[in-house]
């Protein structure tokens, strides 16, 4: 569908707020050669190879990794990542309205005050979504910057500014906070830096917690002492969406998994 390879993020308590004239369902899924690599032993300690684990690794005995894999080690002092997804979609032919909304969001992201640490921008080319939809993924590592920035986000105003054209345009946002011990990454190459790997000062150690059933969970440092159980009761919306034109909001349950992976890198002109 869009851009980048092999990035997963397990998240706790993500929240979502969507204002949409066209989109009325909620759905959850998650080049530079200048990388500093850590010794493998230190890398594995950082992503789940704890000295003492309450729950053992799922890695089979004598497991051999078929191909090299790398993971992300955040800089010292970074305890959480703060992620914001933004999107613009249109069900009609008024591409000018969608473009106007996109420009408004881009200007907001580019404002120097509380600007994200990293921003990825994607364009849907095919798949299970509306072709030509645009998506931004913004990352912060400072909670104050993140929360202060969110306070200035007014998607309802962006939508209303479209006038009559808003009838065919949908705008949505989804944001969540991830503790570093609940974040795992698995890179097949170090030639591209997607998502949180753009955080300045990050390191990229090679690791062996890959290519077996349960490896993704093993790469979560918190998996040493947490089974990430789903809640006994998952609350459902009290009211079903009625159709186009509604503003929908929702909050996820504990231990929901957010995955971002297998996105292709496209030429900048196509993004």
CA distance 110 to 166: 24
Second CATH level (architecture) for the domain 7-56+64-227+246-270: 2-Layer Sandwich (3.30)
Domain boundaries, the chain: 7-56+64-227+246-270
106-129 pLDDT, tens digit each: 999 999 999 999 999 988 888 777
In this predicted structure, the answer to whether residue 233 has a pLDDT above a threshold of 80 is yes
Give alpha helix (H) positions in 31-176: 40-46, 95-110, 143-151, 155-160
Q: Among residues 56, 86, 24, which one has the least CA distance to residue 247? A: 24
In this predicted structure, the answer to whether residue 265 has a pLDDT above a threshold of 70 is no
* Residue 175: its H or E element: strand 169-179
Determine contact, residues 225/51, Cβ cutoff 8 Å.
Answer: no
Residue 27 pLDDT = 25
Determine contact, residues 103/231, Cβ cutoff 8 Å.
Answer: no
CA distance 22 to 245: 7
8-state DSSP, 167:
G
pTM over 0.85: no
Determine contact, residues 108/101, Cβ cutoff 8 Å.
Answer: no
pLDDT band per the 50, 70, 90 thresholds, residue 173:
very high
């Amino acid at each position: 569908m869009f851009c980048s390879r092999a990035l997963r993020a397990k998240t706790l308590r993500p929240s979502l707020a969507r204002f949409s004239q066209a989109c009325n369902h909620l759905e959850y899924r998650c080049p530079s050669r200048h990388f500093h690599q850590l010794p493998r032993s230190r890398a594995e300690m950082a992503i789940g190879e704890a000295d003492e684990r309450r729950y053992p690794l799922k890695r089979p005995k004598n497991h051999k990794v078929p191909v090299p894999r790398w993971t992300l080690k955040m800089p010292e002092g970074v305890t959480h990542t703060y992620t914001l997804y933004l999107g613009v979609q249109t069900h009609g032919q008024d591409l000018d309205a969608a473009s106007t909304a996109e420009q408004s969001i881009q200007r907001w992201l580019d404002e120097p005050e509380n600007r994200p640490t990293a921003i990825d921008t994607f364009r849907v080319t095919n798949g299970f979504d509306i072709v030509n939809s645009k998506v931004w993924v913004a990352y912060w590592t400072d909670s104050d910057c993140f929360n202060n920035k969110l306070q200035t986000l007014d998607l309802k105003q962006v939508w209303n500014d479209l006038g009559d054209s808003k009838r065919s345009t949908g705008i949505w946002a989804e944001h969540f906070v991830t503790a570093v011990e609940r974040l795992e990454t698995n890179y097949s190459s170090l030639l591209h830096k997607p998502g949180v790997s753009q955080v300045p000062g990050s390191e990229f150690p090679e690791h062996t917690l890959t290519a077996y059933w349960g490896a993704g969970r093993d790469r979560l440092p918190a998996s040493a002492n947490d089974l990430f159980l789903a809640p006994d009761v998952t609350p459902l919306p009290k009211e079903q969406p009625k159709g186009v034109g509604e503003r929908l909001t929702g909050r996820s349950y504990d231990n929901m998994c957010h995955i971002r992976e297998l996105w292709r890198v496209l030429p900048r002109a196509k993004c």
